[in-house]
Structure 1
Amino acid sequence: MAERKVIAGHAVRRVRRQAGLTQAAMAEALEISPSYLNLIERNQRPVSANLLVRLAQRFDFDARALAAGEPGGGAAAMRRRLADPLFADLEVDRSEVDEWLAAAPGGAEAFARVFDRGGAGSGTAADEGDTIARDVRRAIERWRNHFADLDAAAERLADELRLGSGDLAQAIAERLRVKHQLSVRILPVEVMPDMLKRVDLHARQLQLSEMLDAASRTFAMAERLAVEAGAEIEALVRGAELADRTAQRLFRRHVTGYFAAALMMPYARFLRACEGTGYDIELLQRRFGAGFEQVAHRLTTLQRVGARGLPFFMLRVDRAGQVSKRYAGASASPLVEGGLCPLWELFETFGRPGDLVRQLVETEDGARWFTLARTVQPQGARAGGVRGRFAIGLGLAASEASALAAARGVDLAGGAVPVGLGCRACTRTNCPQRSAPPAGRARIVSDREAGVTPFAFAGD
């Protein structure tokens, strides 16, 4: 697999300054020219694999800092923040963001911190819950939702478990019993009417509801087995530097779930299966005993250096358009942030439960995305009770979608549906689905004419 270019001038500059070196001195140590180092630090040249090795040898440089240390989470994360309706009239393009990060990484990081802590859009401070969620998302985003140490630990454990049993769930249950003195009990819904899982440390039991399906039971057991990666998990929680305890718990829960998914779908085996099946989600579900949402989330994490998968993004949304999960991964897709466009057939899935809906869309910046969407239902629904339903949106750049089994028969170079990031952030004219004018644009009302959209605005 060809190695992708790594643009990381900020990280190289930080290493040089910490070492107290001039560009000429560091260039000599790395056996490159000062002019080439200058271009690297200004993000005008990539960091090659050979140069990464020399950085690691001469300056004790950890390559993981490339993902963890980008100002504001990197260019993609900064563009998603700038997609907020508050900045709609500024029309900041990609090149401006890249220049900003290269010229003033500290200022970009400061902007990201203020934006994440204070909120935007309405111009008022976000409530405490939103602030906590943003802080946790930012901690995840700084790693692009790829935690190499957890993947490695889960892969080692998965290989060890396979030696004892071909049934992963059985092997995990046995490991919990023998090594951690924790037995697994499946209890009837009458005993756990309002709970799906519970740890009873007094009885030394992991209690699971009979309402959980097989994939969810395995995942719950794998989460408990994440104690074997406790050191790696706590290191990530400390490194996130989250001051709020609730935020710390949410982030810990995320990385614990990450480990559980990595145990069920070990990185190398999962990537081989993805490439061998054309990322066929249904086949991947069956092969790894996982649910649709579990596989979709796992697809956003395939960013191991030297063994990367396709850069997917993922959203989970309800009928009211409320987003409960956003994972950009390495996709840099603006669809992950901001409001949702009704022209994106993510919402079409609610009328077609269980069907996989395919669509080619184009965002305002001219980027084209191939998307997949399907509904999922939370565990625990009973006859006569209220049933929840969410839509999972999954996608990647259309230019990279030809390898997908789901893209067969789709003209990826053909017509795409123009979508925006919600009406308040979208400046497309003549949209028949528009429900509000763009933020910062004056509304134009005429007594003599009317267009396709009822919201004509300045700048048409």
Structure 2
Amino acid sequence: MEKAGIFAGPRIRRLRREQALTQTAMAERLGISDSYLALIEGNRRPLTATLILKLADLFDFDVRSLAQDEPGGGSAALRRRLSDPLFSDISIDRAELEAWIDNAPGAAEAFSRLFDRWQQGGQASGGEGDEVMLAVRREIERWRNHFADLDVAAEELADELRMGSADLYGAISERLRTRHQLSIRILPMETLPDRLSRLDLHARQLQLSEMLDPAARTFQVAYHLAGIEAANEIAGLVKGAAFGNRAAERLYRRHVTAYFAAALMMPYGRFLRACEASGYDVELLQRRFGASFEQVAHRLTSLQRVGARGLPFFMLRIDRAGQASKRYAGASASPLVEGAQRCPVWGIHRAFDRPGEIVVTLAELEDAARWVTLASAVRRQAGSVGAPTAEFVVALGLSAAQAGTLAHARGLDLGAAPAEPIGLGCRQCLRADCIQRARPPAGRPMTISDRERAMAPFSFVGD
């Protein structure tokens, strides 16, 4: 069976126009229908290996160009940026936007980087750390956080491990011991005071902190097994990213290694079947696969196998200030993933004060788009009683139009029920009556009256 391909619609459209071909003419030369070519160019179908070889043969096409990012993340990402109030007086239609990407991809990419940096705080430079994280996130989103080859390899390994034992942690530990001469040792907090795990190659030990819960312990041994047995696949992905920065390479390597570990704990086929049978019941999935809420949330953003796609979730992990330390848009194309801050009215923040619960919110943006979000608090204690505790909320989101089968949305009229009116952060939100507003929107001058005072803390032109 041919492996899943990659999405490269704008690049194929530019190639066709460089060759002065119509869609019908190019499709005929490739041996496919013009409607199928239109889907490829619209990024609704991937390029298969067979088509890539045909492109290379017929048009002297450099297949390495497929590894390049779509300028600005593609037309959907550019539209999100251009929806900012700063551009509210400028009308740019879809055809004009696609022409910009096709004819001036460098300019589109430059605009996107400058806008993203401004949105993160308006600084001339976000520092090397921010640049590294942005570069890695861009590469992850280029793949829509779905790495087909890793999924296939992890699924095969998971099946092999299951044949020996139903206890995944025990099976992985035994494989590390017998095949790779690595023993597992659980160490007390005093010995590993500031580490979750440590690989001691001299002693041939994988040392784990006693502070790890069972799901985290399984993930750690799966992570280290991935680093050994999927080394070639992981190295290929890192090399293909071509970061040119050692820190970015290591951070990306960590992500794809963790991806393999999660795929080993939650093999694609079995996990997707469980999702569909349960209505994506996150608590059931946690119990069935021995995973945490955060691990399941990660996995739900990656279900994009061609011919066996799951629902297009996005994921966020935020602190109490609304800062995101993790965010994956997956295939959701949700604007809620972007930006430096979150709307304080959004119900995901309430999860901080309701530990142990999954907080379900039906939210509506200014454009009337509705999103269902599931949020749960996670806490991490650094050590003994009295030591600092890190607090986060992990949130999953799905377009309300696709959430009808969700177990967590049962009883909700997703189209007509009252929804929380939220924005994309005060800088981008034009809701004039929001009493939670911290600042006026960008590009809208404030209006201040000496004679009256509204409930909302700021008034601005256009409200």
The alignment's TM-score, normalised by the length of structure 2, stands at 0.88
**For residue 430 of structure 1, what is the amino acid of its counterpart?**
D
Residue of structure 1 in register with 2:446 after alignment? 443
CA distance in 2, matches of 1:311, 1:421: 20
Contact 1:76 / 1:333 at 8 angstroms: preserved in 2?
Answer: no
In 2 relative to 1, CA 63–399 (structure 1 residues): closer, same or farther, beyond 3 Å? farther
Listed one character per residue, the Cα deviations across residues 278-329 of structure 1 (whole Å, up to 9, x for unaligned) are 1111110110011110001110000000000000001000112221001101
In 2 relative to 1, CA 32–212 (structure 1 residues): closer, same or farther, beyond 3 Å? closer
Residue of structure 2 in register with 1:230 after alignment? 231
In 2 relative to 1, CA 94–129 (structure 1 residues): closer, same or farther, beyond 3 Å? farther
Q: Which runs of 5+ in 1 are unaligned?
A: 1-5
The Cα of 1:74 is off from its aligned counterpart by: 2.6
CA distance in 1, matches of 2:66, 2:305: 12
Residue of structure 1 in register with 2:140 after alignment? 140
In 2 relative to 1, CA 67–306 (structure 1 residues): closer, same or farther, beyond 3 Å? farther
**For residue 176 of structure 1, what is the amino acid of its counterpart?**
L
> Sequence identity, in percent?
57
**For residue 194 of structure 1, what is the amino acid of its counterpart?**
D
Residue of structure 2 in register with 1:89 after alignment? 86
Q: 1:307-456 residue pairs with structure 2 within 5 A?
A: 307-338=308-339, 339-378=341-380, 380-413=382-415, 414-456=417-459
CA distance in 1, matches of 2:362, 2:323: 22
CA distance in 2, matches of 1:65, 1:285: 40
- Partner SS for 1:343: coil
Q: 1:297-316 residue pairs with structure 2 within 5 A?
A: 297-316=298-317
Listed one character per residue, the Cα deviations across residues 198-256 of structure 1 (whole Å, up to 9, x for unaligned) are 00010010000111011111100111111211111111111112122111111110111
Asked which structure has the greater RCO (Cα within 8 Å, sep 6+), the reply is 1
Q: 1:276-315 residue pairs with structure 2 within 5 A?
A: 276-315=277-316
**For residue 135 of structure 1, what is the amino acid of its counterpart?**
A
In 2 relative to 1, CA 92–47 (structure 1 residues): closer, same or farther, beyond 3 Å? farther
Q: Which runs of 5+ in 2 are unaligned?
A: 1-5
CA distance in 1, matches of 2:288, 2:62: 34
Q: Does 1:150 align with 2:158?
A: no
**For residue 74 of structure 1, what is the amino acid of its counterpart?**
G
Deviates more, 1:313-322 or 1:72-81: 72-81
- Partner SS for 1:457: coil
Q: Does 1:252 align with 2:253?
A: yes
Contact 2:30 / 2:55 at 8 angstroms: preserved in 1?
Answer: no
CA distance in 2, matches of 1:344, 1:137: 24
Residue of structure 2 in register with 1:107 after alignment? 104
- Partner SS for 1:104: helix
CA distance in 2, matches of 1:385, 1:207: 22
In 2 relative to 1, CA 350–93 (structure 1 residues): closer, same or farther, beyond 3 Å? farther
CA distance in 1, matches of 2:168, 2:90: 48
Contact 1:151 / 1:262 at 8 angstroms: preserved in 2?
Answer: yes
Count of residues in correspondence between the two structures? 447
In 2 relative to 1, CA 235–98 (structure 1 residues): closer, same or farther, beyond 3 Å? farther
Residue of structure 1 in register with 2:73 after alignment? 73
Listed one character per residue, the Cα deviations across residues 178-204 of structure 1 (whole Å, up to 9, x for unaligned) are 111111111111211221100001001
The Cα of 1:64 is off from its aligned counterpart by: 12
The Cα of 1:30 is off from its aligned counterpart by: 3.4
In 2 relative to 1, CA 382–107 (structure 1 residues): closer, same or farther, beyond 3 Å? farther
CA distance in 2, matches of 1:408, 1:63: 46
**For residue 171 of structure 1, what is the amino acid of its counterpart?**
A
Contact 1:78 / 1:97 at 8 angstroms: preserved in 2?
Answer: no
The Cα of 1:59 is off from its aligned counterpart by: 3.2
Residue of structure 1 in register with 2:187 after alignment? 187
Contact 2:332 / 2:398 at 8 angstroms: preserved in 1?
Answer: yes
Q: 1:159-198 residue pairs with structure 2 within 5 A?
A: 159-198=159-198
The Cα of 1:271 is off from its aligned counterpart by: 0.3
- Partner SS for 2:389: coil
The Cα of 1:450 is off from its aligned counterpart by: 2.1
In 2 relative to 1, CA 282–446 (structure 1 residues): closer, same or farther, beyond 3 Å? same
Contact 1:312 / 1:394 at 8 angstroms: preserved in 2?
Answer: yes
In 2 relative to 1, CA 275–109 (structure 1 residues): closer, same or farther, beyond 3 Å? farther
Residue of structure 1 in register with 2:118 after alignment? 120
In 2 relative to 1, CA 64–303 (structure 1 residues): closer, same or farther, beyond 3 Å? farther
Q: 1:17-32 residue pairs with structure 2 within 5 A?
A: 22-23=21-22, 26-31=26-31
- Partner SS for 1:444: coil
Contact 2:117 / 2:123 at 8 angstroms: preserved in 1?
Answer: yes
Contact 2:75 / 2:101 at 8 angstroms: preserved in 1?
Answer: no
In 2 relative to 1, CA 48–75 (structure 1 residues): closer, same or farther, beyond 3 Å? closer
**For residue 98 of structure 2, what is the amino acid of its counterpart?**
L
Contact 2:27 / 2:37 at 8 angstroms: preserved in 1?
Answer: no
In 2 relative to 1, CA 260–95 (structure 1 residues): closer, same or farther, beyond 3 Å? farther
